[in-house]
Amino acid sequence: MVRRFGRDFAADERDHPLKVARSERMSRFWPVPWIGDQDEEPACVGFAGAGYLAAGPVANVLLDPTGLYYVAQRFDEWLGFDYEGTSVRGLAKGLQHLGLIGEYAFTQSITTVRNYLLDVGPLVLGIDWDAGMCEPGPDGLIEPTGEYLGGHAILLTGVNRRSKLYQLPNSWSREWGIDGMCYLHEADLAALLADDGEACTALEIKLRVGRF
């Protein structure tokens, strides 16, 4: 199957920087009750957003991920809809418009990402995706090696400080990786964040419980 990605990147200095206190926890993995399959749609941002709302610590309403992708396009940095992909910022603005989140914040700091995952909750991750990341190893590990394929949005739901591995539920069905998830080493994630990567989360989630 040919996978299409669909995360476009545009920096904005007006973004609120994510701030979080240092965590004393060693490990945390938030519940992942839903993993979708974007198939050949360039709708990874919508799927990551839907997964973000569905994941712990509070399972919220599950939106149609393809519909959420078009909502994100409406609020992203580019005019119209005659293009593929959208931005994580467009997603955040779209969720804000729908009344599902309050303010949102971004970070490129691996330390901030780690502390947030350990104490607060999941994040939506926007990164470059390389060929070596398409097929996880038997342990679910992916490595950013080989040809650059495009920008990808993916959920980030857990970390173990001892192993320095981060858990990323993807939007390529539960048949991919380990039950739909993969793992990324901290050094690789830090490098991806530094290279026009981003991690985004809501500072307030407005609860609307839905069915899964």
Can you list the domains of the chain with their CATH numbers?
A: 33-202 (3.90.70.10)
pLDDT in tens, 182-192: 999 999 999 99
CA dist., res. 154 & res. 106, Å (int): 15
pLDDT digits (tens), the chain, 212 positions: 667 789 999 888 888 999 999 999 999 999 999 999 999 999 999 999 999 999 977 666 678 999 999 999 999 999 989 899 999 999 999 999 998 898 999 999 999 999 999 999 999 999 999 999 999 999 999 999 999 999 999 999 999 999 999 999 999 999 999 999 999 999 999 999 999 999 999 987 665 544 43
**Cβ contacts of residue 59 below 8 Å, gap of 6+?**
31, 33, 209, 212
Query: Edge-to-edge strand order for the sheet containing 27-29?
Result: 27-29, 158-160, 165-169, 181-185
Whether 84 contacts 167, CB under 8 Å = no
Cα dihedral across residues 38, 183, 102, 9: positive or negative: negative
Whether 61 contacts 100, CB under 8 Å = yes
* pTM for this model (two decimals): 0.94
Residue 38, number of CB atoms within 10 A of its CB? 24
